[in-house]
Amino acid sequence: MRALVTGGAGFVGSHVCEALLDRGDEVVAVDSMISGSPRNVSHLLSRPGFRLVRHDITEGLGPVAGGGPGGPGDDGGAAAVLDDRRVDVVLHLACPASPIDYASYPLETLDVSSRGTRAALELAAVHGARLVLASTSEVYGDPLVHPQTEDYWGNVNPVGPRSVYDEGKRFAEALTMAYRRERGVDAGIVRIFNTYGPRMRAHDGRVVPTFVRQALAGEPLTVAGDGSQTRSLCYVDDLVDGLLRFAGTAEPGPVNLGNPNERSVRQIAHDVLAATGSRSRLRFVDLPTDDPKVRRPDITRARELLGWEPGVPWEDGLARTVAWFRERREEAAA
Ligand code: UDP
């Protein structure tokens, strides 16, 4: 199999590339490096079958096989990202995913979800490839149904600061289904819930890397609001397993992928203190605008369709994550 991973140098993308190489696939990772980093895949560069391309997919992915001038893959002259050998599967993960990243890059976030998704779907159409769109639990917004099932349509503020991500991904889902219906593309959607693990950026603003960095540095842990809001955290290896299982089907989804183990943010802070042995205190800070109050996936569909459920307990995943950040403590402080 030959896979194209958009966002392949990101947190989740780099783990996906590694898992694909481990099972013997060839991988082309494409990344704009807005929120990804070549360092996430530097250990893969020497592996046979791996290629990293720095490229913004909003500029297109062509020319591609079967495209040609004016053809379906013609992007009006963007550099060729791929040679014309067949791609079997496209894992479309490219998008800033941390609230502070998409607040810093609102237009890029909208562009990659719209034009970038279209480029990925177009390529899948030309190659007859399976495409998996990495969507998000954010399509449920501040959910009024709990836990969230895939048939819940969500409660999203279309004009708030998070909307560039939420609505971007909702548009990407609509585009994916339109390509499936109109063009017969074997495309499907997974909705990824909060995921954590090694290779998150220490300063990406998300709860686990932030708390771990602060705890290791002996700084206060910045708990937003009163910390009663909940999240359900999935270790990255489990997520990647679910993603690749879904890629191996012809299912349209959407399918939730996440760990239903729900905890309050305050509890997460206490767990991080215990896992690091830190004596940092908690500092309560303003809740971000439109911060969802609860979040927990119903994973019945993933269990039934994919035989998947998360296997890494929170305590183990957190310990592995802390160990990884501990090794890079000086970098994180910088
Ligand atoms: N959060 C927090 N302190 C931080 C970072 C995040 O209390 O330093 C909270 C945030 O307000 C949210 C939850 O942790 O309620 C998860 O935030 P994250 O940015 O990780 O992901 P989200 O689920 O909001 O996309």
d(CA 185, CA 182): 8
Can you tell me whether residue 131 is helix, strand or coil? strand
Residue 224 phi, psi dihedral angles, 5° rounding: -80, 135
Residue 134 lies in a domain: yes
What local confidence, expressed as pLDDT, does residue 73 receive?
39
> What distance, in Å, lies between the first and last C-alpha atoms of the chain?
40
Residue 103 lies in a domain: yes
d(CA 98, CA 194): 10
Ligand 1 pocket test, pick from 191, 200, 206 with the greatest ligand atom count within 8 Å of Cβ, gives: 206
Domain count, the chain: 1
Averages of pLDDT over runs of 10 residues in the chain (334 residues) are 98 98 97 96 97 95 50 44 88 96 96 98 96 98 98 97 97 98 98 98 96 97 98 98 98 98 98 98 97 98 98 98 92 68
d(CA 244, CA 247): 5
Cβ atoms within 10 A of the Cβ of 272, count?
24
Residue with tokens 């449920």: 140
Q: Can you spell out the DSSP letters for 84-102?
A: SSPP-EEEE--S--SHHHH
Name the pTM for this structure: 0.94
Residue 208 lies in a domain: no
CB 240 within 8 A of CB 25: no
Residue 280 lies in a domain: no
For ligand 1, atom 12, which residue shows the shortest CA distance? 291
Q: Are strands 230-232 and 130-136 parallel, antiparallel or unpaired?
A: unpaired
CA neighbours closer than 13 Å in the CB half-sphere of residue 170:
17
d(CA 10, CA 41): 9
d(CA 68, CA 65): 8
What local confidence, expressed as pLDDT, does residue 33 receive?
97
* Ligand 1 pocket check for 162: Cβ under 6 Å: no
Residue 291 lies in a domain: no
Residue 326 lies in a domain: no
Question: H or E element: which one contains 11?
Answer: helix 11-22
What local confidence, expressed as pLDDT, does residue 69 receive?
40
d(CA 277, CA 267): 15
Can you tell me whether residue 31 is helix, strand or coil? strand
Residue 240 lies in a domain: yes
* Ligand 1 pocket check for 229: Cβ under 6 Å: yes
* Ligand 1 pocket check for 266: Cβ under 6 Å: no
* Ligand 1 pocket check for 265: Cβ under 6 Å: yes
Provide the residue range defining the domain that includes 12: 2-196+234-259+296-311
d(CA 169, CA 175): 10
The pair of structure tokens assigned to 312 is: 């890494």
CB 29 within 8 A of CB 54: no
CA angle in degrees (0–180, nearest 5) for 163-166-167? 75
Residue 35 lies in a domain: yes
Which residue is catalytic, options 165, 179, 196, 235? 165
165 is catalytic: yes
What local confidence, expressed as pLDDT, does residue 72 receive?
40
| CATH number of the CATH domain containing 154 | 3.40.50.720
State the closest ligand 1 atom to the C-alpha of 269, by its place in the atom list counted from 1.
Answer: 7
Residue of 265, 259, 247 whose CA lies nearest to 312: 259
* Ligand 1 pocket check for 207: Cβ under 6 Å: yes
Q: Which residues contact 174 (CB under 8 A, 6 or more apart)?
A: none
